[in-house]
Structure 1
Amino acid sequence: MSNRQRPGDGGRASMHLLKMSKSRIFQIGGIMASVFMILLIIFYWDDVGTAHFYLHTAITRIQVTRLPPMMDLNHDRLNSKTSAEERTPSSEADIIQDDLDLTYAENSKGYPKGGNALDTEQTFDAISVPSLEEKLPGFDLGIDYVKTKTDFEWVQNERKQKIRDACTDSSITFSGKNRNFEDIPNKELDHLIVDDRHGIIYCYVPKVACTNWKRIMILLSGSLLNQGTPYHDPLEIPRDLVHNSTSHFTFNKFWKRYGKFSKHLMKVKLKKYTKFLFVRDPFVRLISAFRSKFGIKNEDFYSRFAIPMLQLYANYSDPPSSVNEAFFAGIKPTFVNFIQYLLDPRTEEDMPFNEHWRQVYRLCHPCQINYDFIGKLESLDEDASYLLKLLNVEKFVQFPPSLRNRTVSSWEEDWFSKIPVAWRRKLYELYQPDFVVFGYPKPTSLLFG
């Protein structure tokens, strides 16, 4: 019997195999269910988030934003206009006189009174938007009548069509134009701010009212709290927090949260969310960047950029080590030095352009991202109002009202008067994609004058 199978052994073996098979089936089934759930979370995470967004916008929007009712814009503008001259810091009068762009209502609470470097910089930096009361050569800046919804739609369609035309025109070439979105380096996506609450993506462009648009995004997303409660007024948010990278959830941060699935999630959000940016005449933006970063005391920009400019283009072998010493001695880089710096091939060999003068097409990738709204600083007030209505948040947040100031006529010609025509043409070549993509006319008077 030792070499024979005992009675019942075959049945027990069959039962054992059956139990093992069932166990194996349950194990495999558990593994497959786990994989399915992981894939479901990865591929449909944003659908859940978007459904949450629609629920809140339809039912509990006031609880989400907790914003005050609309203010009287005309009243604020009149109050601001009354005391604008009194608030202008006398220490910067030689810079600001007859060359004011546009002062935000942020400053209507009073300009600093003692030439404090930080306060003065914040005041000056806010004055960076061209007056809507003047018209630059080539396009209309006026708001002479109340536009209808159809008018705004027509303007937006025209702006978006110009982008499509430029991006598909083989005769127009610039770096990164033909690459896919997946090929854009993660570090180049740091200007795309995401608000998952309302399904909004904003590509911010420095020197194009980005401070206040960032404030709007913080307020809508609830990314910052004031002593445990959401901010009620965009202008309550301090400037240092507005420009702190930790205050915003940007595309370049997706990698840390989503890993290798980050680009897929970006594409999902780009497809579902409303995407917008604001642009500005490229040469005027350069003037504004120079004035705010080198026309007043800014220790960081002095050490990083002004000192090299003074050494390379202004014959200062040993410029002052601090911005206070330099300003006391009357040593500053000129606008000519700044243009030399931009045109010097060595500049970008060392590092990419700083965001304040980097081309918009390099910041916002208009050939890879199909923007739903393109605003312009030259029509800021009406564009901002229309955009907030499109986003369905106009009852709960308003773009900070602005105070218009008189600017000198033909100020571009004044700023570029000492720039050789050959340099102007090279500068235009450097920024030509922004002119063409965003529909700004070629500055013929500067290039052939």
Structure 2
Amino acid sequence: MAKARLLRLWLAAGSVLTLLLIIAYWDSVGTAHFYLHTALSGPRAPGREQGRALAADVDAFLDKLLGPGRKQGGLPGRKAEWPLAPASAKPAPGKLEENVRGYDWSAHGATQGPGQGQLQAERRRVLRDFCANSSLAFPTKERAFDDIPNHELNHLIVDDRHGAIYCYVPKAACTNWKRVMIVLSESLLDRGAPYRDPLDIPREHVHNSSTHLTFNKFWRRYGKFSRHLMKVKLQKYTKFLFVRDPFVRLISAFRSKFELENDEFYRKFAVPMLRRYSNLTSPPGSVSEAFGAGLRVSFANFIQYLLDPRTEQPAPFNEHWRQVYRLCHPCQIDYDFVGKLETLDEDAAQLLRLLKVDGLLQFPPSYRNRTASSWEEDWFSGIPLAWRQQLYKLYEADFVLFGYPKPENLLRD
């Protein structure tokens, strides 16, 4: 018995030592052999075949040390979090939701325009400068990456095959960027083979959290080493996000979630709004009944909801209207690429080139959203000035950090 106990202790100590060696490897040797950055962030970017040959992912290295059987549970005793998910048969193009929501399927020029590199450098400079500027204050700005709760890292999607991390922002082309990440990471199967065309991926799979490897899943896979491995990947991978004018993003969120029949959003958000701001004690039980009776949440109701101090008492803002600084932590994560929906075609083409994947796929045809910046005055014309000013303060950090001009015309009489 004593010998068996000593053997188990020796094996446990060996496992801990192995993991410590892994960490040391990734901190020192890994930097010299792990060229997965773009030209924006320092080290050279490899070709696709070179990147694959390097077997750079942490999991590949763990396999070499601990054996392929480790894949059954990540670290010993842990359950794997993201198996390749089988998908249903590819839908007919006519059934794609985008076909009825205004997507423009014509070709758009996506060549790199003059000054694209300088434009990215300026966006990143603005972001860094304001993160360091004490004149701009907002909640969570000063906290360290280690202080971000694990559940707040669920928007950071990782592609280990190409060394990319994407923080998705709803209402800023995130559906198609998620499709691109699925193709790159090969995280979803269609009849036993990974998807090759982003547009082939059904929408219901795109937004299924089990489809993507996100930072919040690291804890169950890597345990106490998870935060360190996140930092290694943040240091070595290309990190990007796409943003949008904050007020236009709110208008788009309102249109898609409350002007269309969406039963989930009706029950969870519209019913409380109708009760609280429209004095309806018993709103209809379903969105179809409500729409049939002419009962809809107004844009003014939505703004009231955002400004109401009671709104976030039970839970944070829904991701469709949560501030970008709360979704993507731009003062804790040094993003290599800041794309904008307003320049989506050019930015997408540039990013795919920088990731060296422009030969693998094209960014799907962009959504020609009718929620243009010029519509802001119309949408906000019925909103009291005091509300508009409060709303700006609520989203001011997103305006400033990402270089969007203050909407002065909406904030004065």
* TM-score, with length taken from structure 1: 0.73
The residue that corresponds to 1:97 in the other structure is none
Match of 1:290 in 2: 254
Q: Letter of the 1:147 partner, please give it.
A: G
Q: Following the alignment from structure 1 to structure 2, what is the Cα–Cα distance between the partners of residues 405 and 193?
A: 25
Distance between the aligned counterparts of 2:91 and 2:345, measured in 1?
Answer: 17
For 1:377 and 1:28, how far apart are their aligned partners in 2? Answer: 55
Aligned residue in 2 for 1:417: 381
Partner of 2:396: 432
Amino acid across the alignment from 1:161: R
**Structure 1 pair 31/385, CA: closer, same or farther in 2 (3 Å)?**
closer
1:407, CA displacement in angstroms? 7.0
Greater Rg over alpha carbons, structure? 1
**Unaligned 5+ runs, structure 1:** 1-25, 65-105, 113-118, 134-142
Instruction: Give the letter for the 1:361 counterpart.
Output: Y
Contact 1:425 1:447 in 2 (8 A): yes
2:22 aligns to what?
41
Is 1:375–1:383's contact at 8 Å kept on the other side of the alignment?
yes
Whose helix proportion is higher, 1 or 2? Answer: 1
CA contact (8 A) 2:156 2:214 kept: yes
User: Are the counterparts in 2 of residues 128 and 288 from structure 1 also a CA contact under 8 Å?
Assistant: no
Amino acid across the alignment from 1:357: W
Pair 1:399 & 2:358 matched: no
The answer for the alignment partner of 1:330 in structure 2 is 294
**Compared CA separation, residues 314 and 107, structure 1 to 2 (3 A):** farther
How many angstroms apart in 2 are the aligned matches of 1:160 and 1:108?
A: 40
Render the CA deviation track for 1:304-341: whole Å, top value 9, x for unaligned: 00000000011211110111100111111000000000
User: In 2, Cα distance between the equivalents of 1:373 and 1:410?
Assistant: 26
Identify if the C-alpha distance between structure 1 residues 255 and 294 changes in structure 2 by more than 3 Å, giving closer, same or farther.
Answer: same
RMSD: 3.2
Q: Which residue of 2 aligns with 1:7?
A: none
**Does structure 2 retain, via aligned residues, the 8 Å contact 1:107–1:123?**
no
Instruction: Quote the residue 2:200 is aligned against.
Output: 236
Q: Matches of 1:173 and 1:434 in 2, distance apart?
A: 12
Contact persistence 2:52–2:161 (CA under 8 A): no
Q: How does 1:239-318 map to 2 (within 5 A)?
A: 239-318=203-282
* Other-structure match for 2:49: 58
Distance in structure 2 (CA, Å) of the matches to 1:228 and 1:144:
32
Match of 2:181 in 1: 217
CA distance in 1, matches of 2:371, 2:304: 26
The answer (yes or no) to whether the contact 2:112–2:349 under 8 Å persists in 1 is no
1:173 to 97, 113, 137: 137
- Letter of the structure 2 residue corresponding to residue 188 of structure 1: E
Deviations 1:183-220 (A, max 9, x none): 00000000000001111000000000000000000000
SS of match in other structure, 2:283: coil
Question: 1:127 and 1:191, CA in 2 relative to 1: closer, same or farther beyond 3 A?
Answer: farther
Is 1:343 the equivalent of 2:307? Answer: yes
Partner of 1:375: 339
1:189 paired with 2:180, answer no
Q: CA deviation at 1:123?
A: 5.4
Distance 1:28 1:314 in 2: 66
d(CA) in 1 for partners of 2:246, 2:373: 18
CA displacement at 1:29 relative to structure 2: 9.5
The answer to whether the aligner puts 1:354 opposite 2:318 as a matched pair is yes
Q: Residues of 1 paired with 2:318 and 2:116: CA distance?
A: 33
Deviates more, 1:396-405 or 1:376-385: 396-405
* Structure-2 change in CA distance of 1:328 and 1:260 (3 Å): same
Aligned length: 359
Q: Counterparts of 1:448 and 1:28 in 2: how far apart (Å)? A: 71
TM-score by length of 2: 0.79
Instruction: Give the drift of 1:58.
Output: 3.4
**What is the CA–CA distance in structure 1 between the aligned matches of 2:8 and 2:208, rounded to whole Å?**
49
User: Could you say if the C-alpha distance between residues 174 and 55 of structure 1 is closer, same or farther in structure 2, counting changes exceeding 3 Å?
Assistant: closer
* 2: CA distance, partners of 1:165 / 1:364: 17
Residues 381-420 of structure 1 show CA distances to partners (whole Å, capped at 9, x for unaligned) of 0000000000000011110123647777831100001000
Q: Could you tell me whether the CA contact under 8 Å between 1:320 and 1:326 is conserved in 2?
A: yes
CA change 1:222–1:52 in 2 (3 A) is farther
Provide the C-alpha distance between the structure 2 equivalents of 1:340 and 1:246, rounded to a whole number of angstroms. 34
**3-state SS of the aligned residue for 1:353?**
coil
Question: CA separation in 2, counterparts of 1:30 and 1:325?
Answer: 64
Unaligned runs of 5+ in 2: 1-6, 37-44, 56-89
* Aligned counterparts of 2:285 and 2:188: Cα–Cα separation in 1: 36
How far apart, in 1, do the equivalents of 2:250 and 2:9 lie? 62
